[in-house]
Structure 1
Amino acid sequence: MTEENTYLLGVDSGGSHVTADCYDEQGEVVGHGEAGPGSIVLDLPQTLANIVSAIEKATAALPNKDWKCQRILIGIAGWESSQQQELFATEITSRLRDYAGQVSLTSDARLALLSALEGQDGLLAIAGTGSIVYAKNAGRLSRAGGWGWLLGDEGSAYQIAAEAVKAVLHTNDQGQVHPLAHLVLSYFSASSIPELVAAFYQAPRPQIAGLAKQLAGQADAAPIFAHQAKLLAQQILLLFKRNPGINPLLALAGSVLTHNPLMQAELGRIISQQAPALTIKIANSPNTRGVLFN
């Protein structure tokens, strides 16, 4: 391998932000970059710009200025449901022609699957801003959920936040004040229920999802986390049953599952009761690492 193609570059273009990592031959990160949101469904031009920006930052510190990556793998939020894949692929390939000889595109969830399972078969549940469950079985990929915040995303930060807001509104309709009302109102800088509703509908999805982090550790939010864990567990069990003979490994990824002990515990409890054969691991490696196993 020559000096100019020893690098591999993984890009995780998620709904909240884009992360790019440049790896050397030993699989060590030698360059890192971040940029704003990267969902092709929500804003294609912004996603293009942020991916390029993150890559520029990740490669800026490389010692040899004549470098060229062996390949780039980009996982993009909304990729599988986008109707603009061909347009996006043409544009991003053109912009990155000086960076790598090969540019491959996939969904951010499939990138996470490669990273979390390190190329093995098994299942992966991701819960961050959104959520999805993937299975890789004898080279065949299948999925459950991941249909976006309006149609699914069970167990995601967005749905946790939305359920909390609904609970506050429902309690208000009963003429009472929910224990989480002050926290929720403060988060959206609202001083009344009408202001809360207006702020919620005007807020971008990542901002709404950010409420879930504020709810973590709140005793009054425990039923919400438990309910969302149950909904996500149902997706996992559904996919497990659809894949008889699959390697019984379940990886958990995404900020909701890797940083929230309550979600981890409740999900683990349900899975151990209904699918005791499954071994659960927390995927702490960055999703960009999926480029090493592609």
Structure 2
Amino acid sequence: MSLYLCVDCGGSKTSAVISDASGKIVGRAYGGPSNVAYLTVASFIEVIRGTVGEALKTCSEPASVELVPLPPPENLRFAAAWFGISGADSPSIIESVVTPLTSLLGIPKGPRLSVANDAHLLAAPIRMHADVSSAVTVIGGTGSIVVSFKEREDGELQELGRVGGWGWILGDEGGGYSVGREAVRQVLAEQDRHSVMANPPPEGALRGLLKKYFNIKDVMELLTEVYIPDPSPSAVAPDRGAHAYMAREKRLSSLSPLVFTAAFEAHDPLALNVLRTCARDLADQICIVVGDATEETPGLVDASESVICFGGSLVGLDVYRKLVLDELASKGHVFKHVEFVDDCAKVGAAGLRLKYTN
């Protein structure tokens, strides 16, 4: 049996999918967080051991009720594996896990064991469109990152350009955190503009939802609520809302659903402007990696000959994804294909199988 393993290693969970040579998904399992930047190599390997061992249970005949030990037995050997690992942002980090993975999976170092940042998995649809050889991946969840690729003649994906992925303190433009931050900024800016006017600002849906969420009566109290230090449970006053128990990053990223409600259910122009601003910021990041390649910029890809692959909760919303694509179109960048990938491990397993069976 030829088995193809893809593992999406994220900050909140690990997803492992196993495909057979026909493309049928024969194994799937979920495990705990496996962002390698936050774990020791030994802890990372233990998460992989448990998740992959669980996924292998349904691959044998009859299905096993016990976790399959790794390396797997001869009848369950992997033909190839593809790991997309959150936090794997440097060659040294990737190298630190490759050797343990070869021992764990029984796959020698080389092209059949691919280990890269999790943004690489999002580029798997490039193998499903015969008329393109380049891809731009856009992760837009709480945070954001843009990475461009080309498919080499040997079937390997070569990273060309990368923009963002700096985290909430330094960046994450266009992600859920920036939507929450921009909402607070625009509400406060509107309040500032009206400080010299005869009338107060309109009590729109976004203002009302933010005041209710933070349990405040005046929008200027947002400053106090946003800047509450990261929580120490014993130090939080009992009359504070749930937001006081959140880390500051989560406190702002958790506001993004309110912005979408205000924009698309209450039709609040201020909320819609927040989303347009964030979509424009994300489109600007994408524009850094697309265009006409020159001697000075050989890594640019032509959008009209490429697939753009979106992944993440925020860009998973059709209305927000359309705002980003409209911004790109206004700048002259229209992609040949548009894909939203809601299951990177599954699509990655399919792409890996195609690489070795086509």
Verify the 8 A CA contact 1:222 1:262 in the aligned structure 2: no
Verify the 8 A CA contact 2:226 2:251 in the aligned structure 1: no
Distance 1:44 1:159 in 2: 30
* Between 49-58 and 176-185, the greater mean CA deviation after superposition: 176-185
142, 152, 157: which one aligns with 2:160? 142
* Between 51-60 and 80-89, the greater mean CA deviation after superposition: 80-89
Between structure 1 and structure 2, the one with the greater Rg is 2
Structure 1 unmatched ranges of 5 or more? none
132, 141, 144: which one aligns with 1:128? 141
Verify the 8 A CA contact 1:144 1:236 in the aligned structure 2: no
Q: Give a deviation string over 1:41-66, Cα, whole Å, max 9, x none.
A: 23345544433333233222223364
Verify the 8 A CA contact 1:165 1:184 in the aligned structure 2: no
Distance 1:200 1:113 in 2: 36
94, 97, 104: which one aligns with 1:95? 104
Report the 3-state secondary structure (helix = DSSP H, G, I; strand = E; otherwise coil) of the residue aligned with 2:288. Answer: helix
Aligned to 1:273: 330
170, 182, 185: which one aligns with 2:214? 185
255, 259, 265: which one aligns with 2:313? 255
Cα drift, residue 248 of structure 1: 3.7
Structure 2 unmatched ranges of 5 or more? 65-74, 153-157, 216-220, 232-245, 294-299, 353-358
Aligned to 1:240: 290
119, 122, 126: which one aligns with 1:112? 122
227, 243, 262: which one aligns with 1:197? 227
24, 30, 37: which one aligns with 2:26? 30
Report the 3-state secondary structure (helix = DSSP H, G, I; strand = E; otherwise coil) of the residue aligned with 1:145. Answer: strand
Q: Give a deviation string over 1:210-245, Cα, whole Å, max 9, x none.
A: 543454333253322211110111122221125255
Q: Give a deviation string over 1:113-169, Cα, whole Å, max 9, x none.
A: 124653742322221232222222463532232332133222122322333455567
Report the 3-state secondary structure (helix = DSSP H, G, I; strand = E; otherwise coil) of the residue aligned with 1:109. Answer: helix
Report the 3-state secondary structure (helix = DSSP H, G, I; strand = E; otherwise coil) of the residue aligned with 1:158. Answer: helix
Distance 2:282 2:127 in 1: 19
Report the 3-state secondary structure (helix = DSSP H, G, I; strand = E; otherwise coil) of the residue aligned with 1:70. Answer: strand
Distance 1:114 1:35 in 2: 22
Verify the 8 A CA contact 1:248 1:277 in the aligned structure 2: no
Distance 1:116 1:283 in 2: 12
Report the 3-state secondary structure (helix = DSSP H, G, I; strand = E; otherwise coil) of the residue aligned with 2:8. Answer: strand
Cα drift, residue 23 of structure 1: 0.9
Report the 3-state secondary structure (helix = DSSP H, G, I; strand = E; otherwise coil) of the residue aligned with 2:58. Answer: coil
Q: Summarize the Cα distance change of 1:158–1:39 in structure 2 as closer, same or farther, 3 Å threshold.
A: farther
Q: Summarize the Cα distance change of 1:161–1:58 in structure 2 as closer, same or farther, 3 Å threshold.
A: farther
Verify the 8 A CA contact 1:160 1:225 in the aligned structure 2: yes
Aligned to 2:234: none
Structure 2 counterparts to residues 51-90 of structure 1, below 5 A: 51-64=48-61, 66-81=75-90, 83-90=92-99
Distance 1:16 1:182 in 2: 29
**TM-score relative to the length of structure 1:** 0.78
Report the 3-state secondary structure (helix = DSSP H, G, I; strand = E; otherwise coil) of the residue aligned with 1:88. Answer: helix
Distance 2:33 2:102 in 1: 19
Distance 1:47 1:208 in 2: 29
Q: Summarize the Cα distance change of 1:57–1:293 in structure 2 as closer, same or farther, 3 Å threshold.
A: same
RMSD: 3.6
Q: What is the number of equivalent residue pairs in this alignment?
A: 285
Q: Summarize the Cα distance change of 1:228–1:277 in structure 2 as closer, same or farther, 3 Å threshold.
A: closer
